[in-house]
Amino acid sequence: MKAGKFLYEADMTQAARPYIRMNGAGNAFIVVQAFEAPFHPTEAEVRALAAPEVGLGGFDQLIGVEPSESADAFMRVWNADGSMVQTCGNALRCVGWLLLEATGKEEVVIDTLGGPTTARRAGDHQVTVDMGQPRLDWTEVPLAEEMDTRGIELQVGPIDAPLLHTPGAVSMGNPHVVFFTDQQDDAFVRGSGSLIEHHPLFPEGVNVGFARVIDRGHIRLRVWERGAGLTLACGTGACAALVATARRGLTERKATVVVDGGELIIDWDEASGHVFMTGPVETERTGLLPQS
């Protein structure tokens, strides 16, 4: 794969490293190609790049795209707080689109710390990603103690009148907890999400979803993302929300998940057990990372 083709207009002769700023349904990424030279920033370096004064525009995740012996590429993901995470569904669509454009293929394989996945074209700047089978056992989420993940023993607020309770727990390669609630305002999501993100029940931390079922084919979702905060979209969060609502019989196995940045179509295929996510990809600009 030609680096210049992958990064479009970015000048690979520059000493600084080129990047592409992209978003998937509003979820903002800085994508850095690392085929020729390794890209392994420290937590402090990631946080510095995410700072508003740097000029990158801020981001939810920093993405490194590396060579892979078993796939078309390996995708490494850092949250804006510098923590490295297993995977990111919206980033998979963005990186998938870049690889599809660069290779001319109709389908590519992307490996991650959460395991490999495939991405295929689904229309103009639309990509479908096979997110694999959801991990539903309490040990796989993971939880600190054994519970039925269809509705775990967790609540926020007074014991006799909790504001939130009995969420579903799902791993989509990263841990998610999904509350079923009509309360989705910014202050509530920020306050509750930041409280639950580091709850001792979740030894690896957790992404916190707030899902309102509109009807059996539509879910309104807001997500407090582990290490990133309130985001315009979370692809794995949308998948987890569909799985959690379907397990409770609140929706069908395929639904449109409406997030702040747009819409994602999530299909939990009954035959394979895999979750497929389809949504938009947007390239905003290219540039060069500031040199330290």
What dihedral do alpha carbons 178, 183, 189, 192 form, nearest 10°? Answer: -70
Among candidate residues 223, 234, 242, 266, the one labeled active-site is 234
Residue 88 is among the residues annotated as catalytic for this protein: yes
Tell me how far apart the alpha carbons of residues 119 and 238 are, in angstroms, rounded to a whole number: 17
Which DSSP state fits 87? -
* Residue 234 is a catalytic residue: yes
Q: Which of 88, 177, 208, 246 is catalytic?
A: 88
Quote the CA–CA distance of 266 and 65 in Å, as a whole number. Answer: 25
Closest listed residue to residue 286, CA positions, set 2, 18, 15: 18
**How many Å apart are CA 109 and CA 289, to the nearest integer?**
27
Question: From the CB of residue 283, how many other CB atoms can be counted at a distance below 10 Å?
Answer: 16
Structural Rg of the chain based on CA atoms:
18
Q: Tell me the two tokens of residue 156.
A: 């926020």
Other beta carbons within 10 Å of 92: 28
Residues designated as active site: 88, 234
